[in-house]
Chains A and B, each alone.
Chain A
Amino acid sequence: MKPERPLVDVQGLSRVFDASKPWLNRMLEGEQRMLLKAVQDVSLQIGRRETFALVGESGSGKSTVAKMVVGLLQPTAGRVTIDGVDMWKTTASDEMTALRRRIQMIFQDPYASLNPRWRVGAIIADPLNAFGLTKGRDETEAKVAELLRLVGLDPADMHKYPHEFSGGQRQRICIARALSSNPEFLVCDEPTSALDVSVQAQILNLMRDLQDQLGLTYLFISHNLAVVRHMATRIGVMYLGRLVESQPSAELFKAPRHPYTRMLLDAVPDLKMSGRQRRMIEGEIPNPISPPAGCAFHPRCPLALDRCRVDVPTPFASGGRTLACHAVEV
């Protein structure tokens, strides 16, 4: 049996930001160009109806990956292929429009992601109009009402402004907007990290219900391992711009391979107060502008070998798993 083609295929994705001072300052102060390698050589596949989660701490580059996958940021190198269409190569504008309709995004900050001067109805109808999915005002309004009901809001809310809603309700509005173009693939960048826990539970439940109902595929970005555990079918762990490990969710939590993943799991506060043994991660996350040579994690790694200080470990992929570590056998 031929395996199904993954919906999303990311190959060798990299992104470099120019973090240097303006040209004149560099000339006068005799400074070098400073390049920030935010994402380096990230490859991953997401199957249909899967939830792939990217976890990592600040500076890991997970949000940058999300932006490149969704089409907001051009990669420096690498390829993003969605259902066979190479997103950054395609030049046919109708093909690009068709692709855009199928990918949507849910953002982190429910306060910044809705235009405060627009009514909720207009916000949700924006993608409908942009892709010409409805004809005439009545049809648009009916569709907006349907979407509001789908995310658990009152259709009458379409006449209100965003500031009249709480954070959780705003995130529902964002989801309604994202769903309005009938997308197959949703990129969610920390969708609940700005919300209170009880509201977070509502949104996470809603997202799972919607996935079952509409057959959605998620790329889920989060720093919260417990949330990821609840949502993801597969998980990728990023550290300083590189994917260090990816595994099916259950296996990753049962048997984390990469030393960084293990420590990350240990750092999560223990709510059950089981008194499980934990090891603190020592040290700080290095500055991404001047990362350590070799494996970026080696200064904090308890298993570091001599080789780790010199060679960058290449991700070794087998059977849907990836691991980039010299010290741990695959």
Chain B
Amino acid sequence: MTGPVLSVRNLRVEFPTRHGTLRAVDDISFDIAAGEVLGVVGESGAGKSMTGTAVIGLLEPPGRIAGGEVRLKGQRIDNLAGEALRRIRGRRIGMVFQDPLTSLNPLYRVGEQIIETMRTHLPMSEAQARRRAIELLSEVGIQGASDRLDSYPHQFSGGMRQRVVLALALCAEPELIVADEPTTALDVSIQAQIIQLIKRLCRERGTAVMLITHDMGVIAETADRVAVMYAGRIAEIGQVADVVQRPSHPYTKGLMGSIPTLEGSETRLVQIPGSMPRLTAIPQGCAFNPRCPQAFARCFLEQPAAVFVGRSEVACWLASATPVQGTP
């Protein structure tokens, strides 16, 4: 078996401020294999987007990677800078953001943008690139692709624009796609279409996907594995079915219970008291301890390390305390 496409080890992202250094991402490790969709889920402030921007090297100063490694097919990319990083970003890593307009230049026709991106990274003639662009656009579900090639971004609707962005992200045949809240700005009916599209295209091409979202539903639909983040750390990571249906971490349990579903209409939703701590006030020990219904003495003193519970890795003292035989 070949190694993972993306491998992140002990990644730390820090923001020096006047009031001390804030740690937005704290000691995160995960792998994504070819053709696999890893969902990174968490509430606002969990550090999920920060992890994504760190992986693609787009952290805004003063934010910086303070430790750990990011490897793309074994090659370290977290220490690259400037031109080397830019070449990797368009060619080997594609990006999809929440607002499609941040990825599209409003002054150029979408065809020009796709063709130019392709020709920057791949040895192609103008005509070849144009043909490929039309293929791509029809593949992402844009009807009359050869005509739409000459449209400007503002002539597309929100859902169509996100399709164009997806085509743009895929055009240089990257090994990894980082998608940060790709469906959040879309209506439910359009969201479902885009999710299916991402899933299908990446499976067909063997592209690894890091799907960052706050929406557990999207994760359940799309991802193969999921990492649940809380206050800059991974609380639980494992197969989607395991995490969604049999969560082990008290936070994941609470999170799953707090989501209203179409099936049940219980009188009350499970409620996690309080809210995610601000970066300036992350509690000592396990960051979840003030909100955790099962916290005990150790949780207030030491940070739990990830241990296996079944097939999932869980960072919780409860999981460590109960002897569980797990096979990696």
Contacts and interface: CB of A to CB of B under 8 A. Distances in A.
Interface of A: 57-58, 166-169, 196-202, 204-205, 208, 223-227, 229-230, 249-250, 253, 263-273, 278, 280-281, 284-285
Contact of B268 (A196, A208, A263, A268): A208
A282 to B, nearest CB: 8
Contacts of B192: 266-267, 269, 278, 280-281
A166 B273 CA distance: 13
Interface of B: 43-44, 157, 159-160, 187-193, 195-196, 214-218, 220-221, 240-241, 244-245, 254-263, 265, 267-273, 275-276
Interface on chain A toward B: helix, strand, loop, or mixed SS?
Answer: helix
Contacts of A202: 271-273
Nearest to B219: A269
Contact of A284 (B159, B257, B268): B159
B254 A198 contact: yes
Nearest to A232: B265
Contact of B189 (A166, A167, A249, A267): A267
A196 B269 contact: no
B187 A58 contact: yes
Given A267-B189, A269-B192, A230 B265 contact: yes
A271 B244 CA distance: 8
A205 B255 contact: no
A285 B221 contact: no
Nearest to B251: A198
B275 A196 contact: yes
Contacts of A280: 189, 192-193, 196
Nearest to A59: B187
A223 B187 contact: yes
Given A198-B275, A230-B269, A269-B221, 4 more contacts: A198-B255, A201-B260, A208-B267, A226-B262
Contacts of B160: 284
Given A57-B189, A196-B43, A198-B43, A271 B275 contact: no
23 contacts: A167-B44, A196-B43, A196-B44, A197-B259, A198-B254, A202-B271, A223-B188, A224-B260, A230-B260, A230-B269, A250-B265, A267-B188, A267-B191, A268-B188, A268-B217, A269-B218, A269-B220, A271-B216, A271-B217, A272-B261, A273-B241, A284-B157, A285-B157
Contacts of B195: 269
A326 B8 CA distance: 56
A198 B262 contact: no
Contacts of B265: 229-230, 249-250
Q: What 7 pairs between A and B have smallest CB-CB spacing?
A: A269-B217, A201-B258, A196-B43, A57-B187, A230-B260, A281-B189, A201-B269
Contacts of A284: 157, 159-160, 190
Given A196-B214, A264-B189, A280-B192, A226 B275 contact: no
B260 A204 contact: yes
Contacts of B257: 201
A205 B189 contact: no
**Most chain A CB neighbours (cut-off 10 Å) among B256, B262, B267:** B262
Contacts of B273: 202
A196 B276 contact: yes
A224 B217 CA distance: 12
B262 A201 contact: no
B269 A270 contact: no
B215 A200 contact: no
Contacts of A281: 189, 192-193
A267 to B, nearest CB: 4
**Most chain B CB neighbours (cut-off 10 Å) among A167, A197, A281:** A197
Contact of B244 (A200, A273, A285): A273
Contacts of A268: 188, 217, 262
A226 B220 CA distance: 15
A223 B191 CA distance: 12
B46 to A, nearest CB: 9
Contacts of A270: 217, 220-221
Nearest to B46: A196
B99 to A, nearest CB: 15
Nearest to A231: B260
B74 to A, nearest CB: 33
A201 B270 contact: yes
A152 B315 CA distance: 31
Contact of A273 (B157, B245, B259, B276): B245
A229 B189 contact: no
Contacts of B190: 284-285
A141 B269 CA distance: 32
A227 B217 CA distance: 13
B36 to A, nearest CB: 17
Contacts of B259: 197, 201, 226, 271
A227 B275 contact: no
Given A264-B189, A270-B220, A201 B272 contact: yes
